[in-house]
Amino acid sequence: MSTDMKIGVVGAAGRMGRMFIRQVNETDGCVVSGAVEAPGHALIGQDIGVLASVGEIGVALGDDAGTMIEIADAIIDFTAPAVTASNAMICKEAGTALIAGTTGLNDDQNAAILKASKSVPIVSAPNMSVGITLLLGLTEQVAGLLGPEFDIEIVEMHHRHKVDSPSGTAIGLGEAAAAGRQVALRNVKQAVRDGHTGARKKGEIGFATLRGGDVVGDHTVVFAGEGERIELTHKAASRVIFAGGAVRAALWTRDKAPGFYSMKAVLGFED
């Protein structure tokens, strides 16, 4: 009897979803156990392996997330806030781990995921690449070491189709910088500058958003002081890094206690 971990994918027919299917299929120790899309999707019923260009795997694209979650050991969900929050509650009842990379969640949706994490392991991160996880840690460390005379600005660029701004990763970097300075991001965040805004306020963490072309994701944290500037940058050249991190997180949840985990925990940077 196979002991491979059974992983389901939500939004499996999309660009990232197909990449998750390929990554699971190519990774030892796990198998694709299910794949779903929204009801009415034109590709419902087709073999998800064929759609993901890995050949037939005997798993048809479905539209019933509940059934898929019940038979999976873990699911990967990088879809929409309302969908991820709803699936978190299904995971809670089914005892299924959740790997959530969805960004733009509101307070109620975040609360639903936190509630579910009391019953099942949940790994949630705006970006699951190893490089971004390192950048988050470095940003917090540098922000804590440098004094308030260094202004912090976060610059991000993504493809023209991205719907949320600033990106979830940029917000995560802002939270890391704020943690390093022992302040709450909501009290120092400045995401909009337009017109005659006056001088920059001391201690604020600024965000600049760029959109265009097919940019996968570029993020730079700028620490600007008098006479010198430090920049920490990560550039994603392929979405494969996100898929690899998500599958790694799914495998990591096996036999883990219920809880709300970050990629730092998955990579061993924190408990």
Tens digits of residue pLDDT in 101-160: 998 899 999 999 999 999 999 999 988 998 999 999 999 999 999 988 999 999 999 999
Q: At what angle do helices 107-116 and 81-94 cross, to 10 degrees?
A: 20
pLDDT of residue 271: 61
Stretches where the chain sits below pLDDT 50 are none
pLDDT of residue 119: 98
Assigned token pair, 94: 């089914």
Quote the CA–CA distance of 262 and 126 in Å, as a whole number.
10
- Annotation says 196 is catalytic: no
Contact 1, 16 (CB under 8 A): no
The ranges of the chain annotated as CATH 3.40.50.720 are: 5-124+239-266
pLDDT of residue 104: 85
Assigned token pair, 89: 């509650």
Q: Which of 41, 115, 162, 256 is catalytic?
A: 162
State how beta strands 217-225 and 259-261 pair: unpaired
pLDDT of residue 147: 86
- CA-closest candidate to residue 170, choices 267, 162, 38: 162
Contact 190, 238 (CB under 8 A): no
Does the domain spanning 5-124+239-266 belong to CATH 3.40.50.720? yes
Q: Which fold has domain 130-236?
A: Dihydrodipicolinate Reductase; domain 2 (3.30.360)
Contact 124, 261 (CB under 8 A): yes
Q: Three-state SS across the chain? A: CCCCEEEEEECCCCHHHHHHHHHHHHCCCEEEEEEECCCCCCCCCCEHHHHCCCCCCCCECECCHHHHHHHCCEEEECCCHHHHHHHHHHHHHHCCEEEECCCCCCHHHHHHHHHHCCCCEEEECCCCCHHHHHHHHHHHHHHHHCCCCCEEEEEEEECCCCCCCCCHHHHHHHHHHHHHCCCCHHHHEECCCCCCCCCCCCCCEEEEEEECCCCCEEEEEEEEECCEEEEEEEEECCCHHHHHHHHHHHHHCCCCCCEEECHHHHCCCCC
What are the beta bridge partners of residue 124? 100
The ranges of the chain annotated as CATH 3.30.360.10 are: 130-236
Radius of gyration from C-alpha coordinates of the chain: 20
Which pTM value belongs to this model?
A: 0.81
Q: Which of 158, 189, 219, 234 is catalytic?
A: 158
- Annotation says 158 is catalytic: yes
Quote the CA–CA distance of 6 and 10 in Å, as a whole number.
13
